[in-house]
């Protein structure tokens, strides 16, 4: 039972504060049954409408299946089993029972449907007649299909309510997050996830405050009548706050916004240290539209264009479609470099259209370049052809994700040469000398950076994965999030050796993981000698202020000191000390948001 004003320490995954009523997202519990969730009177019509939509969709699916079976097996009998299912879908007494549970007991559509199916399933299972007994299995089968169709509906965010809400759910997939309507959603609180999972990355791009690691009991208990506060700076969730707490959080949200507005006005200032060392500020983008943020943020490059947006949850794009998109991106960026990362599917970005088999450990499986070189070389070739063609329209950098061996790079280079020959024969325009780089996001790549550097034009350090693979923790698992420490000396050492390898090979090195966006790590990265910091656009303003407040000389000393620290807490402290001295206004924002904030 939750009491009003109760406050919970959770994980901050996207900055900002949101205060508002809850929009619970319905999920099944671990036994496969939906969670019993109450709805309000006003939600009844929309729940009834959801049931009807699920029925329509189920009817269509069953009819399509019936036709397919008839054609494939050429069997009228086998197709006939769907007649019984179709009859059930349109059974009026079943529908009436579901509707009664929604209207009278105020249960969610999922639970009402589940309970009705359980009830009829038991009644039929207890009948002596074998034929009727079998109907119990049919009912459960149809109910499962209806439930699936209910949960795949756009039930995020609130259906017909006009007020904005905070989504609360056990999980949100990256594609669900991308589909959130930011005019109606104030933020979200989820159980599984961490600051570097792709759901969090999207939340930051969408400027949605978010927290993760919320215990399941809280998620299952909160209903649409509860009001909560989520603090995406310090990672707090407060249930039904009193008026004073609510006011204090509203004020904090306003002052954070005001501070941010002053920083934004500095977007035309050069991102250089007080002793004149310039860092390239770049943005991470996930769509063509994001490119407009380059100018708004005052950044000079796209350090990472995630191309997954074109592949996930939709029909796969062909060469022409991709060519047009990359061309538009390059033209929109004018002459700014655009680092296009080739398909990085895998890990928490899975899609049935792309993967041919399920893996027990997707983060350690056929992800990124591995998938592209082996299982889906077809997709990779199409993407590379589109990129080579689009490259003539701007300043393209091609970046390979998840590299762990020099051989992978050599193979890609051979493939690119082959594709260039093809294009030449076809008389199609393409870039002759594409700039090719690799992400340094596995410890193997960091340790072999010396060798890798001989074959590529740049490195970009993906700290989200580099921390994950070095610390051996799933980046999306809130239970090991306490080990997710980018300032850990082990990580700093890998970054330092990557920078040294870049220097030796006379190539450029950037950072495009979340570490680049966090003010407390910026002195370390600058001091370690990286050339570019790339991040979600909203973070650029704060990072610019940090760079302009410190000297390179001091940052270098700080980084050297941090490298010699025995643990992550000590090295972070070293960096925070410099920040406190040189940029007290930033350090106080970080400090303030580290406190619980309740009055």
What's the token pair of residue 245? 């707490």
462 is a contact residue toward Mg ion (CB under 5 A): yes
Count each helix (H run) and each strand (E run) in the chain, helices first: 23, 16
CB nearer to Mg ion: pick between 340 and 562? 340
Min dist. Cβ of residue 118 to ligand PEP (A):
42
Site for Mg ion (CB under 5 A): which residue of 441, 518, 532, 536? 441
What's the token pair of residue 58? 């189920």
Choose one: 163-171, 226-234, 437-445, 492-500; the region binding Mg ion (CB under 5 A): 437-445
Give phi and psi for 375, each to the nearest 5.
-65, -40
Interaction mask 464-483, ligand PEP, x per CB under 6 A: xx------------------
Interaction mask 194-233, ligand PEP, x per CB under 6 A: -------x--------------------------------
Q: What are the start-end ranges of the E strands in 1-65?
A: 7-9, 11-14, 17-24
Beta bridge partners of 24: 168
Choose one: 215-223, 410-418, 456-464, 556-564; the region binding ligand PEP (CB under 6 A): 456-464
Catalytic, 198? Answer yes
* Spatial CA neighbour of 343 closest among 439, 469, 478: 439
Which residues fall within 8 angstroms of residue 60, CB to CB, at 6 or more apart?
none
| Residue in the block written with tokens 């076809």 | 426
* Spatial CA neighbour of 197 closest among 11, 445, 446, 399: 11
Catalytic, 512? Answer yes
Terminal-residue alpha carbon distance, the chain: 23
Q: Which does 279 bind (CB under 5 to 8 A by kind): Mg ion, ligand PEP, none?
A: none
CB nearer to ligand PEP: pick between 304 and 448? 304
Instruction: Report how far residue 537's alpha carbon sits from residue 199's, in angstroms, rounded to the nearest whole number.
Output: 16
Q: Which does 474 bind (CB under 5 to 8 A by kind): Mg ion, ligand PEP, none?
A: none
286 is a contact residue toward ligand PEP (CB under 6 A): no
Interaction mask 393-432, Mg ion, x per CB under 5 A: ----------------------------------------
Per the document, the length of the chain is: 599
Instruction: Report how far residue 320's alpha carbon sits from residue 93's, in angstroms, rounded to the nearest whole number.
Output: 51
Site for ligand PEP (CB under 6 A): which residue of 441, 474, 478, 520? 441
Span 506-535, contacts to ligand PEP by CB under 6 A: 512-513
Of 164, 372, 512, 565, catalytic: 512
CB nearer to ligand PEP: pick between 37 and 344? 344
Burial class (CB in 10 A: 0-12, 13-18, 19+), 544: buried
What's the token pair of residue 121? 């399933």
Choose one: 64-72, 405-413, 421-429, 459-467; the region binding ligand PEP (CB under 6 A): 459-467
Question: Which parts of this chain interact with ligand PEP (CB under 6 A)?
Answer: 201, 304, 306, 344, 441, 462-465, 512-513
Catalytic residues: 198, 512
């Amino acid at each position: 039972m939750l009491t009003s004003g109760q406050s919970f320490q959770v994980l901050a995954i996207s900055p900002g504060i949101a205060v508002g009523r809850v929009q619970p997202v319905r999920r099944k519990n671990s036994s496969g049954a939906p969670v019993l969730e109450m709805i309000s009177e006003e939600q009844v019509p929309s729940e009834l409408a959801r049931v009807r939509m699920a029925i329509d969709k189920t009817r269509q699916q069953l009819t399509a299946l019936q036709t397919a079976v008839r054609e494939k097996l050429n069997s009228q009998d086998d197709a006939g089993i769907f007649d019984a299912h179709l009859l059930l879908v349109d059974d009026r007494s079943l529908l009436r029972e579901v509707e009664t549970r929604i209207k009278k007991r105020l249960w969610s559509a999922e639970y009402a449907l589940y309970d009705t199916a359980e009830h009829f399933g038991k009644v039929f299972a207890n009948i002596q007649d074998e034929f009727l007994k079998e109907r119990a299995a049919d009912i459960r089968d149809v109910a499962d299909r209806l439930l699936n169709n209910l949960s795949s509906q756009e039930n995020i965010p609130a259906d017909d309510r006009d007020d904005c809400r905070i989504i609360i759910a056990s999980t949100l997939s990256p594609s669900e997050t991308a589909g959130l309507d930011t005019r109606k959603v104030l933020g979200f609180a989820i159980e599984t996830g961490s600051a570097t999972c792709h759901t969090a990355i999207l939340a930051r791009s969408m400027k949605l405050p978010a927290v993760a690691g919320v215990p399941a009991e809280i998620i299952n208990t909160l209903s649409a009548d509860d009001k909560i506060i989520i603090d995406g700076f310090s990672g707090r969730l407060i249930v039904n706050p009193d008026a004073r707490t609510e006011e204090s959080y509203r004020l904090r949200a306003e002052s954070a916004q005001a501070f941010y507005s002053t920083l934004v006005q500095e977007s035309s200032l050069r991102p250089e240290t007080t002793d004149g060392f310039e860092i390239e500020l770049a943005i991470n983008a996930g769509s063509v539209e994001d490119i407009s943020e380059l100018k708004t943020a005052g950044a000079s490059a796209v350090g990472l264009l995630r191309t997954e947006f074109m592949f996930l949850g939709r029909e796969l794009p062909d060469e022409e479609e991709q060519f047009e998109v990359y061309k538009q991106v390059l033209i929109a960026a004018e002459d700014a470099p655009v680092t296009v990362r080739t398909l990085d599917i895998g890990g928490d970005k899975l899609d049935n259209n792309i993967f041919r088999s399920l893996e027990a450990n997707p983060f350690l499986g056929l992800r990124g370049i591995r998938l592209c070189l082996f299982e889906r070389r077809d997709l990779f070739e199409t993407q590379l052809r589109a990129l080579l063609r689009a490259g003539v329209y701007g300043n393209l950098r091609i970046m390979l994700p998840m590299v762990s061996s020099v051989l992978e790079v050599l193979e890609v280079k051979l493939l690119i040469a082959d594709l260039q020959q093809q294009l030449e024969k076809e008389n199609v325009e393409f870039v002759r000398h594409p700039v090719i780089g690799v992400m340094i996001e596995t410890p193997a790549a960091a340790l072999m950076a010396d060798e890798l550097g001989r074959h590529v034009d740049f490195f970009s350090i993906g700290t989200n994965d580099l921390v994950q693979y070095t610390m051996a923790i799933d980046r999306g698992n809130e239970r090991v999030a306490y080990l997710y420490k980018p300032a850990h000396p082990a990580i700093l050492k890998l970054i330092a050796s990557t920078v040294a390898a870049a220097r030796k090979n006379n190539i450029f090195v950037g950072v495009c993981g979340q570490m680049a966006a966090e003010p407390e790590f910026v002195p370390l990265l600058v001091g370690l000698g990286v050339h570019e910091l790339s991040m979600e656009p909203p973070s650029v303003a704060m990072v610019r202020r940090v760079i302009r407040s410190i000297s390179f000389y001091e940052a270098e000393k700080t980084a050297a000191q941090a490298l010699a620290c025995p643990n992550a807490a000590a090295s972070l402290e070293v960096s925070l000390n410099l920040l406190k001295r040189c940029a007290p206004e930033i350090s106080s924002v970080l400090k303030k948001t580290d406190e619980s904030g309740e009055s």
